Structure 1
């Protein structure tokens, strides 16, 4: 039986590519969450007026990779201390966010963040939004598997490449063989 995690850490192309590296991850779908408009388009989300975050929805096997381990990867590959910004991307749609699916996930992510803050893991305070998942809207087809379909895209090479390398270097035992 699989479980789902919904995470926003900047551009979904880059986070999707990094999470696909992990053993136990069955699928990663790029999409939108946290906004007020039904069935938003990419253009609408980019306007900043819908309130949505670019997210990935990770379907995973909790027997192989745990929610805690997914959070560890998530908080390693993006900067949870920058409000509405990741790398070159600026806007509310790029905010750091965890959309939990149930009370258990809520408790896990709140404890995880508390532990990071207690350990002074970052120089600045964590601004990651922790909210219940309302509706997840799947992004347009051309956004799915974007890095795989466009491996020479300059944006992806510059931004997804380092995230993938971090996953391989820091979580090598959890990377698909």
Structure 2
């Protein structure tokens, strides 16, 4: 009996369910038909934007190329800065700066002493000058500067010993303080 009741319900609603399925299918098709033009319109708008921006394609390609070249150049600079020869040059120049600062602090104003003091530091990197043109160029530049300074060395009778130069400077400072008071 239960089986018969179930068959009756199935038969009774079969047409109704079939109609509903058919309506759902029609509704989906209508939605798709209404939606498709909007999807196409959105795609057309994207294409329009691409056409508008295509004006800049060459410039953007050039920028990408330049960025690639800049990146390659920066990588080369960083690699060169890490090289043994550049590290040696940097340390050499820092030591020269320290030596000049010590001479200035001590009051030594003799150009010959200054030139000799910084020239002595050259020996540390001189070995590399034979293997690196950059090191040789830096050493040549410092040698020229040292030579120009050495040429300004006053005659021995005019040169003040460092101790006397410091004492003279201190006396000038005291005299200036007395006149100000």
Which one has more relative contact order, counting CA pairs under 8 Å at least 6 apart? 1
TM (norm. structure 1) is: 0.20
Considering only CA atoms, is the larger Rg found in Structure 1 or Structure 2? Answer: 2
Q: Which has the higher helix share?
A: 2
